[in-house]
């Protein structure tokens, strides 16, 4: 019960993972959740308890000790979390990872874990890949070659030049994925964007893992430009001027973090540290990586 469960950041692979690119998902320890019996933050506690009781009532998964979870909820247990909801950082994934850790009946196989976690998270999302709770449960970076081939990396890649920009706008993933899938019906979109973007994402992931900052910046610039040209609906209006300035100057790069449309935007700069980026972007609401 003392263990905490981190948020998840999809560093690279948003959307293109649906077309066969690799993806890189990471635990983000600065935001996390944990079980609590503290009688604090009445509103958050009530909301968590209501959600968990609803989960128990409606979830059909048989892979957890439901009676034990029900008893602990009756004793006042809730999930205290600093992970914002609707920001693409795996807020529900952390809850599911915590349920699985303390009430699950896990097998010893990674693919079984993923399947069981996906079934549990279906309650929140309708259909889950299981990746968000798997990152939070394992607390290791995952290199996703495809949905059935996941490699657990034993060390975090170097991320000191990345940052997260808070748009302060929650969003829903489903409608944005639907827009992307509709775009895929256009052969020009697939050839001009998806095929090229898939290659750039794979190259960027390789550069992250090898700590090759020069090539990483090059590929991130192309990813940012392709997303600007082909995914305007996913880029919040307020951040568009900052986005294009990064493309034009090369001082920094902004790209989608997950589905886009709000939540956090992922940034990268070889030239400026986090404090300098706050001044350059005119906001204190940036978060770095350790």
pLDDT in tens, 150-195: 999 999 999 999 999 999 999 888 889 899 999 999 998 988 899 9
Q: Which of 97, 26, 98, 95 is nearest to 264 (CA)?
A: 26
4-152: which CATH topology?
A: Ribosomal Protein S5; domain 2 (3.30.230)
Please count the other Cβ atoms lying within 10 Å of the Cβ belonging to residue 70: 15
What's this model's pTM, rounded to 2 decimal places? Answer: 0.93
**Residue-level pLDDT at 16:** 93
pLDDT band at 127; cut points 50, 70, 90? confident
CATH pick for 162-288 out of 3.30.70.890, 1.10.150.20, 3.20.20.80, 3.40.50.2000 = 3.30.70.890
Please count the other Cβ atoms lying within 10 Å of the Cβ belonging to residue 152: 12
**Residue-level pLDDT at 122:** 87
What residues does each domain of the chain span? 4-152, 162-288
- As to burial, measured by CB atoms within 10 angstroms (0-12 exposed, 13-18 middle, 19+ buried), residue 88 is buried
Residue 158, phi then psi, degrees to nearest 5 = -65, 125
Residue 120, phi then psi, degrees to nearest 5 = -70, -40
DSSP 8-state secondary structure symbol assigned to residue 79: E
In terms of pLDDT, which residue wins out, 187 or 124? 187
**Residue-level pLDDT at 220:** 98
Residue 101, phi then psi, degrees to nearest 5 = -65, -45
Q: What is the pLDDT of residues 174-183, one digit of tens each?
A: 889 899 999 9
Assess whether pLDDT exceeds 90 at residue 59.
no
Tokens of 125: 């999302």
């Amino acid at each position: 019960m003392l263990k905490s469960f981190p948020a998840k950041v999809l560093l690279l692979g948003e959307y293109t993972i649906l077309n066969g690119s690799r993806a890189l998902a990471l635990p983000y320890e600065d935001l996390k959740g944990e079980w609590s019996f503290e009688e604090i933050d009445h509103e958050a506690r009530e909301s968590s308890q209501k959600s968990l009781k609803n989960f128990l009532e409606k979830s059909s998964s048989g892979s957890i000790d439901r009676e034990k979870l029900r008893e602990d909820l009756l004793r006042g247990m809730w999930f205290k979390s600093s992970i914002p909801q609707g920001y693409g950082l795996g807020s529900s994934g952390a809850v599911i990872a915590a349920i699985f850790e303390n009430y699950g009946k896990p097998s010893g196989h990674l693919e079984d874990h993923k399947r069981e976690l996906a079934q549990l998270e279906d309650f929140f999302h309708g259909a889950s890949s299981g990746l968000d709770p798997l990152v939070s449960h394992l607390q290791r970076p995952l290199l996703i070659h495809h949905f059935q081939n996941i490699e657990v990396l034993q060390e975090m890649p170097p991320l000191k030049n990345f940052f997260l920009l808070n748009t302060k706008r929650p969003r829903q993933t489903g409608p944005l994925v639907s827009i992307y899938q509709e775009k895929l019906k256009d052969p020009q979109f697939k050839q001009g964007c998806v095929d090229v973007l898939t290659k750039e994402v794979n190259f960027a992931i390789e550069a992250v893992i090898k700590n090759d900052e020069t090539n990483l910046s090059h590929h991130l610039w192309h990813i940012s430009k392709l997303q600007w040209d082909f995914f305007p609906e996913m880029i919040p209006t307020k951040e568009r001027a900052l986005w294009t300035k990064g493309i034009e100057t090369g001082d920094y790069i902004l790209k989608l973090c997950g589905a886009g449309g709000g939540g956090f935007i992922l940034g990268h700069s070889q030239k400026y540290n986090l404090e300098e980026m706050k001044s350059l972007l005119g906001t204190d609401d940036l978060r770095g990586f350790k």
